[in-house]
Amino acid sequence: MDKINWRLWTVVFMCFFSVWSLIPTITWFKMSDDAKSQAEKEKSPILGKILKLGLDLRGGTHLLLEVDISKLPDNVHTKDAVNRATEVIRNRIDQFGVAEPLIAKQGDKWIVVQLPGIKNPQSAKALIGKTALLEFRIVSTTGKNSDIIDSFNKLGVTPEKFRENPNAYPDVQRLLPEGSSIFENKEGSYSVLDKALLTGAAISNAKVEFGGQFGQPVVSIEFNKDGGRVFAQVTGDNIQRSLAIVLDGIIQSAPVIRSRIPDGKAIIEGGFNSEDARLLATVLRAGALPAPVKVIEERTVGPSLGSDSIKKGFGSTLVGVAIVVIFMLVYYGFSGFIADIALCLNLLFLMGIMSYFQFTLTLPGVAGIALTLAMAVDANVLILERIREELATGKSSRAAVDAGYTKVFSTIIDSNLTTLIAAVFLFQFGTGTIRGFAVTLSIGLIISMFTAVSVTKLIYEFLFKENFLLKFKI
């Protein structure tokens, strides 16, 4: 009786836990699209309690990025640069607020980015693609600036092209002070700037504020300890000179230094709108890419495709489960009904656990659920066939059930364990949706061993104890 009570309370707890875990998910999918959008904007607490859907079910954006290794410094290895770019992009996407993104390396210089729920990829592409090389340079005050710019204009090249290979233009190079170069303003004019005194690597925080001219958005930045010390020295040594703030080779602003700034704080003004300012603050917090990246493949999965995938995937799973349930009832009778109860509990427990831990459900994950249910039925078939053999030898119903479970237990463990090992390797070496399949399969196998062996045995023991099942046929 103690064994029955222990298993009974375990099953009861799992039932309540699974239902409780699934309530937010059920509530979410019953909400209208407008209500979901509003909840996402307000970052509703329900978002942290629901079962996540992958790109193939929810819809979103798939991007394949290529790191431009030709722009890497000679002392930076390609593998290290791609690893760094992957990490920077992951940090940017995390701060951008995309739920369950996939960012993974592919090959030697490519990065795959999947953004579920992002139906307009333009802002994401702008966020990902920014090199975010931030430099602070003093505007040159040499009397040769006009001559330098005139000579440069005669060449008919862009500042970016000149900076890539300044030795190719010796006439201009000869006029420039050491370490200085030519940069373009946002208005299109050119300025000569001294060497970089500070870069974005010294920034510890960046955020959007509304304090610019006419209340426009600005990006407030804060330097780390070392950066703050250098910034204080730079501003103290260059009072009444202009400090140019250069982002990705473009001068955003060049305010005049009125006094020494000791607190390590500065403001970037560039005529930003709210979205531009937010993206800039995000990339500055996440860090600069080691080299430019470009989008070489882009696919947008629409919400209709996601809806079709959900309907077809779950529809096929439910049809398969229904056929199995009917077969078990017809072929095994009352014992098949007990196996069906275990099958339903298996599905309930699996979905409850996935919802509680906020796993991402993908279309291959749905296939993993279907395979899990098939494995659960297979275990029940083994048990019932063994009980049928024991009954054929003349044993009583109670003895046949006990012998059936005892003799088949090791076979069930072996078959599920080998499949579980394969699922672990799929998770370890797979990416994206393959991992989703491995997760659902692994959890489902563990649950199926519990429901197929413990739950059905518990039902039989209860029926024998209450004398409801003195004799039965399979």
One domain, residues 258 and 363: no
Q: pLDDT (tens digit, 0 to 9) for every residue of the chain, 474 residues total?
A: 455 577 788 888 999 999 999 998 888 888 887 787 777 666 677 877 888 777 777 777 888 888 888 777 666 688 877 887 887 787 777 666 565 677 888 888 888 888 877 766 776 777 776 666 778 889 888 767 777 788 777 777 788 888 878 888 887 788 788 878 888 887 778 888 888 888 777 878 888 887 656 667 888 888 888 888 988 998 899 888 888 888 778 887 788 888 888 888 877 776 677 777 776 777 677 666 777 788 888 877 765 555 666 677 677 778 888 888 898 888 888 888 888 888 889 889 988 888 888 777 777 778 888 888 877 888 888 888 888 888 888 888 888 888 888 888 888 888 888 888 988 888 877 766 677 788 888 888 888 888 888 888 888 888 887 776 655 566
Domain total of the chain: 2
Whether residues 346 and 279 share a domain: the answer is: no
* CATH code assigned at 181: 3.30.1360.200
Q: Which residues contact 126 (CB under 8 A, 6 or more apart)?
A: 279
Domain end call among 219, 254, 288? 288
Tokens found for residue 26: 């059920």
CATH number for the domain that contains residue 430: 1.20.1640.10
- The answer to whether residues 365 and 54 touch, using CB atoms and an 8 Å cutoff, is yes
* Residues 156, 340 contacting (CB under 8 angstroms): no
What's the rounded Cα separation, in Å, for the pair 145 and 177?
10
User: 259 is in which domain, residue-wise?
Assistant: 134-288
Query: Considering the domain boundaries, does residue 96 fall inside one?
Result: no
Residues 308 and 247 both lie in one domain: no
What spatial distance separates the first Cα and last Cα of the chain, rounded to whole Å? 26
pLDDT at 19: 93
pLDDT of residue 109: 85
pLDDT value for 100: 61
Residue where a domain terminates, one of 288, 318, 340:
288
The CA–CA distances, whole Å, from 306 to 51, 90, 117, 220, 302 equal 15, 24, 10, 39, 7
Q: What is the 3-state secondary structure (H, E, C) of 302-371?
A: CHHHHHHHHHHHHHHHHHHHHHHHHHHHHHHCHHHHHHHHHHHHHHHHHHHHHHHCCCEECHHHHHHHHH
pLDDT of residue 72: 72
Residues 385 and 431 in one domain: yes
Domain final residue, candidates 244, 263, 288: 288
72 within a domain of the structure (yes/no) = no
* Whether residues 271 and 339 fall in one domain: no
Task: Tell me: do 252 and 331 sit in the same domain.
Answer: no
Residues 232, 152 share a domain: yes
